[in-house]
């Protein structure tokens, strides 16, 4: 995805790396069911997006 975005002149925001745990999943405080982000995860994602838009 990152490479494709670069070839098209688009920004790519990597949410996976900052949110993943050592098992390559998400901790319960970031995704109670392991998939859907919690408000804490959305807060992290929002900061990443704002940084990318600067």
| DSSP per-residue string spanning 1-54 | -HHHHHHTT------HHHHB-TTSSB-TTT-TTSSS--HHHHHHHHHHHHHHH-
pLDDT of residue 34: 87
- pLDDT tens across 5-51, in order? 999 999 999 999 999 999 998 999 999 998 999 999 999 999 999 99
pLDDT of residue 54: 87
**Whole-prediction pTM:** 0.81
């Amino acid at each position: 995805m990152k490479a494709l975005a670069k070839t098209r002149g688009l920004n790519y925001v990597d949410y996976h790396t900052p949110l993943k745990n050592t098992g390559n999943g998400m901790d319960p405080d970031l995704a109670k069911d392991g998939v859907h982000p919690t408000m804490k995860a959305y807060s992290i994602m929002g900061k990443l997006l704002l940084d990318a838009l600067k």
